[in-house]
Structure 1
Amino acid sequence: MSARLPLFPLGTVLFPGLVLPLHVFEERYRALTRDLMALPGDPPREFGVVALRQGWEVAPPGAADHGGVSLYEIGCSAELRQVTELTDGGFDLVTVGRRRFRIEELLDAGTPYLTARVQWLPEGDGTDEQADRLAPRVLAVFRQYLALIRPGEAEEISEQLPDDPTVLSHLVAATAALTLPERQRLLALTGTAARLRAELRLLNRETALLRQVRAVPVPLAELGVTSSPN
């Protein structure tokens, strides 16, 4: 099923179920916020968060269009949960990722912000046996990964990790130290099992690299030397 959706291009990737706070100061996105607030609360007020391939989140001074901006095809809708209006006319928003979509066509909607016709993408129905088998393995490696990057908080964080395979796949994709293209590839994968399988490879890679780096001793004399910028 297709729908019209206002877009908010960002230099990040949003996943379903993840919280995304936003500070809105640019006029085109102030207009988007006002338009969303004017809608009834049922169904949920949604806009599309889509990562930038090329271009900037903030338009250069004097720019009247979105020229030079290139977007990824797959994004995630953000549900508006909380709006705080600021004295300067901007907004602080609390949003939550809701559902994935594919951009079919950018539309001329007569608004200062981008609007697209999008196709909603299906998620797993919770009965995927492959995902059920993969989830404990991903969870185990993710705990090892957390212990390496956040040793003081790993145990507390591990106790809060979800068992649901789909929720886990989105959480790992959003919180592991991955590049934007890697996160985007995870968002675009069809099915929870495929996402978990890819994350298992990425986590094993990152964990091995972290262990290798920590195993290499650094001479104390090098720690006091200012590195050259060249």
Structure 2
Amino acid sequence: MPEAAASLPLFPLHAVLVPGAALDLRIFERRYLDMVRDCGRAGGGFGVCLILDGDEAGTPATPAAFGTEALIEDFDTTLDGLLSLRVRGRRRFHVLRTRVRDTGLVVADVAWREDDPGASPRLRPEHALLAELLRRMLEQAGGADPAPPLFEDAAWVGWRLAELLPLSMPQRQALLQLDDPHVRLQQLLDGIAEND
């Protein structure tokens, strides 16, 4: 269900960030360096949207209508002097309108999207196979996730699979736009069945 609108600077990428997922970025354009500085001062995040038309650098790209708020977890400077960021996806949003600042930064008025409150967060029996698949994927990956696993939570399982499975960007974007975590899981299950 949509929440109140807010203003959010956008960082259009040829990538889809889902809630809870981590993403490493290298920042070199002045508009994004200023954006990161402003986010640090305000203690807020910025929006990551899939690019529908254009490139990541240069002229402002056309972003998808749905994206995810990115919060900065860590930053450093690379050997070549660029700013590197580690961000994590937080809340999903729907872009209501955009404007381009004179610096080339795209700023959007967004409505926050939450998972459908009418949908139980508990994993349904027909999706238990997906939780088991995720458990095995995480065991093979070995790395420590900052959050404890929630294999009974439909939204958590869906987002982790959307992050880890080898999906195309349009497939990942389609999952991001769904409000019902059970519908998201069913689409993942159907996609896995089609690939068998």
TM-score (norm 1): 0.72
1:93 aligns with 2:82: no
Q: Is 1:120 matched up with 2:119? A: no
Q: Which has the higher strand share?
A: 2
One-letter identity of the residue aligned with 2:170: P
Counterpart check, 1:24 vs 2:13: no
- Counterpart residue number, 1:200: 189
SS at the partner of 1:79?
Answer: strand
Q: In structure 2, how many angstroms separate the alpha carbons of the residues matched to 1:142 and 1:80?
A: 26
Q: Deviations over 1:21-68 (max 9, x none)?
A: 1111222211211222222x3xxx210000011211122xxxxx42xx
CA RMSD in angstroms, aligned pairs only: 2.7
Per the alignment, residue 39 of structure 2 pairs with 36
Partners of 2:23 and 2:142 in 1: CA distance: 22
Q: Which residue of 2 aligns with 1:182?
A: 171
Distance 2:25 2:100 in 1: 25
Flag structure 2 segments of 5+ consecutive residues without an equivalent.
Answer: none
Asked if structure 2 preserves the Cα contact closer than 8 Å seen for 1:77 and 1:99, the reply is yes
Instruction: Please state whether the residue corresponding to 1:57 is helix, strand or coil.
Output: coil
For 2:129, the equivalent position in structure 1 comes to 137
SS at the partner of 2:92? strand
* Whole-angstrom distance in 2 between the partners of 1:46 and 1:129: 26
- Please tell me whether residue 102 in structure 1 is matched to residue 105 in structure 2: no
Does the CA contact (< 8 Å) of 1:22 and 1:94 recur in 2?
yes
- Offset at residue 135 of structure 1 (A): 3.5
Runs of 5+ unmatched residues, structure 1 = 60-64, 147-152, 209-230
Q: Secondary structure at the match of 1:52?
A: strand
Greater fraction helix? 1
Q: Give the distance between the partners of 1:155 and 1:106, measured in 2 at CA.
A: 38
User: How many angstroms apart in 2 are the aligned matches of 1:130 and 1:167?
Assistant: 10
Report 1:131-170 matches (<5 A). 131-141=123-133, 154=140, 162-163=150-151, 164-170=153-159
With over 3 angstroms needed to count, the CA separation of the structure-2 counterparts of 1:25 and 1:108, relative to structure 1, is: closer
CA-to-partner distance for each residue in 1:117-165, whole Å, 9 max, x for gaps? Answer: 0000012559617743343132245578x5xxxxxx74858xx964022
Tell me if the contact between 2:134 and 2:160 (Cα under 8 Å) persists in the aligned partners.
Answer: no
Distance 2:94 2:70 in 1: 14
Counterpart position of 1:214 = none
Measure the CA separation in 1 of the matches of 2:168 and 2:192.
Answer: 13
The equivalent of 2:160 in structure 1 is: 171
**Number of residues of Structure 1 aligned to a counterpart in Structure 2:** 188
- Please name the residue that 2:67 is paired with: 75
Pick the structure with greater CA Rg. 1
Instruction: Tell me, yes or no, if the aligned pair for 2:76 and 2:85 is still in contact at 8 Å.
Output: yes
Per-residue Cα deviation, 1:74-105 (whole angstroms, up to 9, x for no partner) = 10010112222457653111111000000000
TM-score (norm 2): 0.83
